[in-house]
Amino acid sequence: MSASRTRVVATLGTAQTLAWASSYYLPAMLARPMAAELGVSQPTVFAAFSAALVVSALTGPHSGRRIDRWGGRPVLMVTSVLFALGLVLMAVAGGPVGLFAAWAVMGLAMGSGLYEAAFASLVRLYGHDARGAITGITLISGFASTVGWPLTAALEHAWGWRGACWAWAGLHLLIGLPLNAWLPRAEQPVMATEGSATASAEAQPTEPPLATAVLLAWVFAVTWFVSTAMAAHLPGLLGAVGTAPGAVVAIGALVGPAQVAGRLLEFGFLRRLHPLHSARVAALMHPLGAALLAVLGAPVAAAFALLHGAGNGILTIAKGTLPLALFGTAGYGHRQGLLMLPARLAQALAPWLFGVLLAHFGTAALWFSAGLALSALAALMLIHVPARTAEPNTTPLEDIA
């Protein structure tokens, strides 16, 4: 592992941890005190968060195009300021209008500063050699909830929810902005050398590109829907299958470590496979766990959490590596934004829709999430590994991150 690439992975991974902890994982800790002081319901707070996800979906393609042109450094520096601004607006919000305005700004930051932007930044720097770096930053930022939830809770306990927002805003300016400013400048797009493995990876896929893109967009939309639905409703789901209240939190806490374990598996054994194969393995994990939980109930709740978490961890990496392997580096950032647009919209819809299904059908809602995940697996099976990129990645471990 070269020192310069290690620095980039550590820098970007830390900045991503900060970004995720102070945005995506914020409402879980602050929705209740926000709602109480602003005189709105908790669902209204989550509706503002969902609106931010819609804004982020629309922002993604434009942000990706800027990264394709300028590299990730200037774009991510701007998003650090946007995150800080959104959090400051949240801290001074006096009612629902101010709350929605703050989350709209947060949506701009999320659409141009979370994983898709980070992946595009790495591809802009390293081309097809970015797979290991992509895995590296997801390994670090996989602990965003582990860090973010207790830190937000501690800040809220000490200074109230407004003080917590002010503190997160300060962290973006004092830590996030310098970290993103420390990223290398991308002077020229990385070009593959003739005869190299990266050059062969530039080959066009055997399917029509539009058909492959549609299938991939479906995979990403489905997997983000399932992931967000489980994140929002896992405690209620585990309780519905008869899990003891004291065990619900402990079992739910297994998802985070399982995600990291899945990413370590991708970093180790699965990196030798084309990312399409590792994505297929990962897409099977949620439906397998859901079927076990639906049939056997509470005794296999921990197994469900582990399978779902591991699959989700690998699929997070696949969202960055699959477009790279199938379409190449040219226009990666813009394409990534377009591919993830349906996923962001599905993510915004997931907490409400799965909550309705859970309220009406109980644990039978698991068959819905399992069926969606199997449809993603079917879509992945319809995508073929391009002939000239079918060889596994055998790059030594020390050279890929």
Question: What is the band of 259 on the pLDDT scale with cuts at 50, 70, 90?
Answer: confident
**Residue 301: pLDDT above 70?**
yes
- Evaluate if residue 44 carries a pLDDT over 80: yes
DSSP states of 145-193: HHHHHHHHHHHHHHHHHHHHHHHHHHHIIIIIHHHHHTSPP--S---PP
pTM for the predicted model, two decimal places: 0.80
**Is 192:202 a contact under the CB 8 Å cutoff?**
yes
Rounded to an integer, the average pLDDT of 243-260 is 81
With contact defined as beta carbons under 8 Å apart, do 325 and 274 qualify?
yes
* Whole-number average pLDDT of the chain: 84
- In the prediction, which pLDDT does 196 show? 43
pLDDT at residue 71, rounded to an integer: 87
pLDDT band, residue 262 (cuts 50/70/90) = confident
Q: What is the 3-state secondary structure (H, E, C) of 255-323?
A: HHHHHHHHHHHHHCCHHHCCHHHHHHHHHHHHHHHHHHHHHHCHHHHHHHHHHHHHHHHHHHHHHHHHH
Average pLDDT in the 297-314 region? 91
Mean of pLDDT values over 287-298: 92
Residue 198: predicted pLDDT:
42
Instruction: Using alpha carbons, select from 217, 149, 175 the residue that is nearest to residue 375.
Output: 217
Pick 270 or 21 by higher pLDDT. 21
| Higher pLDDT among residues 338 and 163, named by residue | 163
* pLDDT above 60 (res 398): no
pLDDT of 103 > 90? The answer is yes
Which band of pLDDT confidence, cut at 50, 70 and 90, is reported for residue 360?
confident
Going from the N-terminus, what domains does the chain have, and what CATH number goes with each? 3-181 (1.20.1250.20), 197-393 (1.20.1250.20)
Residue 188 has what pLDDT? Answer: 59
What's the pLDDT at 386? 65
Query: In this predicted structure, which of 1-15, 39-53, 62-76, 185-199 has the lowest mean pLDDT?
Result: 185-199
Identify the top-confidence range among 34-38, 122-126, 326-330, 351-355.
Answer: 34-38
pLDDT at 268: 73
